[in-house]
Amino acid sequence: MSILDACACRLVWDPSRGGSATRKGVTVKLDRPPDLGRGEVYAVDWAPCVVYSVTRHISLGPEMLEPDEIAAARAIVAAVESRPADL
């Protein structure tokens, strides 16, 4: 378990574990790598203001997400139907 698992907004894909999109306490499993506008990625970990890491191909190392990829990640997470915050 990672401290990032508690993020209210996160997009993650790991080829060995799969991935998910989380928004405001609701997590949706991903059945394939996300497309961030340049085709499917090999791995990604994005949480606003925390981590912006993408591996675009198995033979490449991790890099920072580009602004257009961040916008795509935001759109994927925004599509997750959230629930009202607990009082």
Show Cβ contacts of residue 27 under 8 Å, excluding neighbours closer than 6 positions: 20, 21, 80
Domain count, the chain: 1
Q: Is residue 68 assigned to a domain?
A: yes
Q: Is residue 16 assigned to a domain?
A: yes
**What range defines the domain where residue 35 resides?**
3-78
Indicate if the pLDDT at residue 2 is higher than 70. Answer: no
Q: Is residue 83 assigned to a domain?
A: no
Q: What is the DSSP letter of 40?
A: B
pTM greater than the 0.85 cutoff: no
Place of tokens 């799969």: 18
The 10s digit of each residue's pLDDT in 13-66 is 999 999 999 988 889 999 999 999 998 999 999 999 888 999 999 999 999 999
Tokens of 82: 């959230």
Q: pLDDT value at position 3?
A: 47
Q: Is residue 37 assigned to a domain?
A: yes
Query: Within 10 Å of residue 59's Cβ, how many Cβ atoms?
Result: 7
Q: Is residue 46 assigned to a domain?
A: yes
What's the CA gap between 32 and 48, in Å, rounded? Answer: 22
Q: Is residue 48 assigned to a domain?
A: yes
